[in-house]
Structure 1
Amino acid sequence: MASNEYPIDVTHVKDGRPRNCRVVLVDRVWPRGQRKDEAPWDEWLKTISPSTELRKWYGHDRDKHEEFIRRYRAELEGKEQTNAFEHLQLLHHSGRLTLMTATKDLEHSQAQVLADLLARS
């Protein structure tokens, strides 16, 4: 059971800025075509994203999704990643939070993995 009642949403950068929540981009790479002065998020937390190597290996291949989750969770145990995750936890515990990504398949994205972990924290 989650430790608070605030929801965590996962959305695509092209969906625009959600209302009444803190929005965090959780991608390592700046979204293609996104102007910096029109970014629909409050902050970019790229240290929480999967490593370039893991991201390239995964390639959003659904057959690799379970292994991706395992490897990504292992990466989240690094010092920088732990600090970034703790920051997300603070945001989550203080109000509604939206994790934003340029990944088209939201259900199989790192943002969804993070949302699931945050919901249990």
Structure 2
Amino acid sequence: MKPIQIKRVYDAPSKSDGYRILIDRIWPRGVSKEDADLDDWNKDLAPSTELRKWFDHDPDKFDDFSFKYKKELKDKVDALKHLGQKAKDQTVTLLYGAKDETYNQAVVLKEVLENI
């Protein structure tokens, strides 16, 4: 498997990003689709709206968020397999819009993908 990276969508794209996929349910403010330079935007891999609002990027809730998000991802087998296939051939960069680089859905999704 090639590396799976995580990166804020606000950071400049680079050639080392490989396959760039946005995993937010809503489009990030202030970023044009051209500037995002995406290969894909998969809203289905993002946490549900309810879970996202409940979590609100509170570090104290991250363990519970991680558990609940992984539970949601169990229903996304096809999308996870598709992304796992991409990662066999090329680097995959999971893009997210959150300010917090430690406590966000990309961290959880990367862990899930690396354990498929």
Structure 2 length as normaliser, TM-score?
0.92
Answer whether contact 2:21 2:40 (CA < 8 A) is retained.
yes
Query: Is residue 61 of structure 1 aligned with residue 40 of structure 2?
Result: no
Give the CA deviation at 1:56.
0.1
Give the CA deviation at 1:36.
2.2
CA deviation profile, 1:62-120 (whole Å, cap 9, x unmatched): 10000001100111112xx2221111111111111100010111221111111111122
1-structure distance, mates of 2:38, 2:77: 21
Query: Is residue 18 of structure 1 aligned with residue 10 of structure 2?
Result: no
Moved beyond 3 Å, runs of 4+: none
2-structure distance, mates of 1:46, 1:39: 15
Query: Is residue 73 of structure 1 aligned with residue 78 of structure 2?
Result: no
2-structure distance, mates of 1:97, 1:37: 19
2-structure distance, mates of 1:36, 1:95: 22
Query: Is residue 32 of structure 1 aligned with residue 29 of structure 2?
Result: yes
CA deviation profile, 1:29-80 (whole Å, cap 9, x unmatched): 00111112332221101100000000000000010000001100111112xx
Query: Is residue 44 of structure 1 aligned with residue 41 of structure 2?
Result: yes
Residue 98 (structure 1) aligns with: 93
Answer whether contact 1:24 1:98 (CA < 8 A) is retained.
yes
Size of the alignment, in residue pairs? 115
Answer whether contact 2:5 2:94 (CA < 8 A) is retained.
yes
* 1:14 aligned counterpart, secondary structure: coil
Answer whether contact 1:27 1:49 (CA < 8 A) is retained.
yes
Residue 115 (structure 1) aligns with: 110
1-structure distance, mates of 2:111, 2:29: 26
* 2:44 aligned counterpart, secondary structure: helix
Give the CA deviation at 1:15.
0.6
Answer whether contact 1:11 1:100 (CA < 8 A) is retained.
yes
Q: Mind listing any 5+ residue stretches in structure 2 that lack a counterpart?
A: none
Identity of aligned residues (%): 38
Residue 8 (structure 1) aligns with: 4
